[in-house]
Amino acid sequence: MRADARRNRDKILEAARDVVAERGTDAPMELIARRAGVGVGTLYRRFPDRAVLLAALAEQYVHELMDALDHAAAAGPDAWTAVRAFVVHAVEESRGAVAAALAGTSAPEAREALVERLGVLVGQAQADGAMRPDADTGDIMDLLNVFACNPGVIPERFLPLMLDGLGRRSPGR
C-alpha cells in the first residue's frame, strides 16, 4: 500500500472510531469521511461498505488490546500482575461505545489470538497460585465486556473488587 493510501486508511479508521463512539455503528459514512478529511469516494475505495469498515475497526481494536497484553506481560513481575494490568488498561482505554458496538463485529482470528495469549497468562497465574483455579480466560473477557458495554453504569471502583474476586489471597493477607 502506498504511503498516502496508508495515511488515508489510518485517518479513516481513527475518524470511524470517534464517530462510532459518538453515534454508533449506523453513523453516516459521509460524516466519517468528513472527519477523516477525505472524500467519500476515498472512504469507499478503502472500505466498500459499512461492514468492511467495522470489521477493520474491530480488528484494529483487538490488535491494540493484544499490544496492551504483550506490554503488560513484559512489564509485570508475574502473570497475575500482568493480567490485572491488562484488564485495567483495557477498561480505561475501551472508549465504551466503540467496544460495545464492535463486540459482535467479525474479527475472529484476531480475537482468538488475543484469547490464546491471555489464556497463557491466566494459566501461569493459576499455576503460580495467584489466580483462582475455577476462573478462566472467558471470565476475564466477560469482565472486559461488562465494563466496555456499560460505560458509566458500573462504577470504576468495582473493577479492583472484581479482580480481587478472581485472585487468590495468600495466607496472612
Residues 61 and 42 in one domain: no
Tell me the CATH number at 29.
1.10.10.60
What are the cell numbers at 70?
504483550
Residues 76 and 158 in one domain: yes
Residues 19 and 43 in one domain: yes
Residues linked to residue 37 through DSSP beta bridges, in sequence order:
none
What is the residue range of 16's domain?
Answer: 1-48
Closest-CA residue to 147 (of 83, 90, 72) = 90
The structure's pTM equals 0.83
Q: Tell me the backbone φ, ψ of residue 159, rounded to 5 degrees.
A: -60, -50
Residues 137 and 168 in one domain: yes
Residues 86 and 149 in one domain: yes
Label residue 87 exposed, middle or buried (CB < 10 Å: 0-12, 13-18, 19+).
Answer: buried
pLDDT for position 156: 80
pLDDT for position 95: 60
Residues 107 and 159 in one domain: yes
pLDDT for position 15: 95
CA 119 remoteness from chain centre: 16
pLDDT for position 127: 96
Tell me the CATH number at 87.
1.10.357.10
pLDDT for position 171: 41
pLDDT along the chain (173 residues), means of 10: 91 93 89 98 95 88 91 95 94 66 68 93 96 95 83 83 85 39
Total domains present in the chain: 2
Residues 71 and 136 in one domain: yes
Residues 31 and 113 in one domain: no
Residues 65 and 132 in one domain: yes
Residues 40 and 7 in one domain: yes
Residues 82 and 138 in one domain: yes
Q: Are 90 and 39 in contact (CB under 8 A)?
A: no
